[in-house]
């Protein structure tokens, strides 16, 4: 596998070098296909991003930033970007293929998860965020659709389309990402930083344990109101005290008091369930 991947990693390639298979997903900018590199037989996923659609949305710079950031990342819990190329109409991002699909689908089919599985998943995401934050990168679009499953059941963070490089001590003010996962400081306009990823981890862990969103409402205005007050729908009493404390420490209004990746990985609930993950 290593050798076959060397035939595509960082190489200047063209669409004709690949045999395109089935569609595996669609996001707001890209359509993703499973593909096989003809010469080496390497399996990969190719995200196609239409240039005209990017232009109409004034988002041409987004792909360049996504490629710049994603191509610097090498960690087993982060989907690898092997290479990219373009033609007149599309950009093509050639990535590691995640055969297990989205974590969202797994939760819908098999959830809510037991505490052991929820803690394991939460720890895997925290470890990937620890790597990302150590590179001064904020993901900014963490949600169950952007966490994918490898063949061995381990998780991988994907979709760096909204990610930014942000030196420590600096803040961002623009609002982006899916409302249900957005942190209070990213809604209030007071500036935000890497702690927003930890809030999103809190939302996802709540979903693992309940199958539901913590601030759910059909009305977006109500969702916003609930987020800025951290008005969480109470966790069922069947959820343990330690799990509850962990989720509440991630869904902490004040970013300074919110768990960091390091703290999340040392949390008693995480340690109880995954000593070696
Ligand atoms: P968004 O709407 O989140 O901005 P996007 O247009 O940037 O999405 P992605 O999130 O990268 O696109 O991909 C869309 C979907 O395609 C994912 O949610 C996932 O279901 C699927 N997908 C993406 N990359 C892969 C991959 N490498 N292997 C398998 N499936 C993938
Ligand atoms: Mg996505």
Domain span including residue 261 = 101-274
Residue 122: CATH number of its domain: 1.10.510.10
Q: Are residues 159 and 225 in the same domain?
A: yes
Given a cut of 80, whether residue 95 has pLDDT beyond it is: yes
Q: What is the pLDDT of residue 254?
A: 96
Protein residues with CB under 6 Å of any ligand 1 atom:
24-30, 32, 45, 47, 79, 95-98, 102, 141, 145-146, 148, 158-159, 161
Distance 32 CA to ligand 1 centre (A): 6
Last residue of a domain, one of 29, 61, 95: 95
Q: Are residues 123 and 84 in the same domain?
A: no
Distance 159 CA to ligand 2 centre (A): 5
Q: Are residues 145 and 88 in the same domain?
A: no
Please indicate whether residue 141 is annotated as part of the active site. yes
d(CA 203, CA 186): 15
Mean of pLDDT values over 96-120? 96
Q: Are residues 84 and 204 in the same domain?
A: no
Q: Are residues 262 and 203 in the same domain?
A: yes
Q: What is the pLDDT of residue 24?
A: 95
Which atom belonging to ligand 1 lies closest to the Cα atom of 99?
A: 29
Mutate-to-test residue for ligand 1 from 20, 26, 53, 104, highest number of ligand atoms within 8 A of CB: 26
Mean of pLDDT values over 203-218? 98
Q: What is the pLDDT of residue 197?
A: 98
How high is the mean pLDDT of the chain? 95
d(CA 66, CA 161): 5
**Nearest-5° angle of CA 118, CA 123, CA 126?**
125
Q: Are residues 115 and 78 in the same domain?
A: no
Q: Binding site membership: which residues?
A: 47, 96-98, 145-146, 159
Last residue of a domain, one of 95, 118, 150: 95
Centroid of chain to Cα 226: 23
Residue 28: CATH number of its domain: 3.30.200.20
**12-57 residue pLDDT tens:** 899 999 999 999 999 888 899 999 999 999 999 999 999 999 999 8
* Structural domain total, the chain: 2
**135-182 residue pLDDT tens:** 999 999 999 999 999 999 999 999 999 999 999 889 999 988 899 999
Nearest residue (CA) to ligand 1, atom 29? 98
Q: Are residues 225 and 255 in the same domain?
A: yes
Q: Is the CB of residue 230 less than 8 Å from the CB of residue 259? A: no
pTM: 0.95
Distance 275 CA to ligand 1 centre (A): 31
Q: What is the pLDDT of residue 215?
A: 98
What percentage of the chain exceeds 90 in pLDDT? 86
**230-243 residue pLDDT tens:** 999 999 999 999 99
d(CA 65, CA 162): 8
């Amino acid at each position: 596998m290593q050798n076959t991947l060397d035939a595509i990693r960082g190489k200047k390639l063209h669409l004709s070098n690949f045999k395109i298979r089935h569609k595996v997903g669609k996001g707001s900018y890209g359509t993703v296909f499973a593909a096989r590199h003809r010469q080496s037989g390497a399996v990969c996923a190719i995200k196609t991003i239409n240039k005209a659609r990017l232009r109409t949305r004034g988002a041409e710079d987004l792909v360049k930033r996504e490629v710049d950031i994603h191509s610097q990342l090498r960690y087993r819990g982060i989907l690898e970007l092997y290479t990219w190329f373009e033609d007149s109409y599309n950009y093509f991002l050639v990535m590691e293929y995640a055969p297990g699909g989205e974590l969202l689908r797994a939760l819908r089919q098999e959830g809510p998860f037991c505490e052991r599985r929820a803690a394991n998943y939460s720890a895997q995401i925290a470890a990937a965020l620890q790597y990302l934050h150590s590179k001064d990168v904020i993901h900014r679009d963490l949600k169950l659709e952007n966490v994918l499953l490898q063949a061995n059941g381990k998780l991988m963070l994907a979709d760096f389309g909204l990610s930014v490089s942000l030196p420590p001590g600096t803040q961002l003010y623009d609002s982006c990402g899916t409302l249900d996962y957005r942190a209070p400081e990213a809604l209030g306009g007071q500036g935000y930083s890497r702690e927003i990823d930890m809030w999103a981890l809190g939302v996802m862990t709540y979903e693992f344990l309940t199958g539901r969103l913590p601030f759910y409402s059909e009305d977006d205005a109500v969702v916003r109101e609930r987020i800025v007050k951290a008005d969480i729908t109470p966790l069922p009493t069947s959820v343990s005290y330690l799990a509850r404390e962990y989720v509440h420490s991630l869904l902490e209004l004040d970013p300074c008091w919110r768990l960091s990746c390091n703290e999340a990985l040392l949390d008693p609930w995480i340690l109880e369930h995954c000593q070696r993950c």
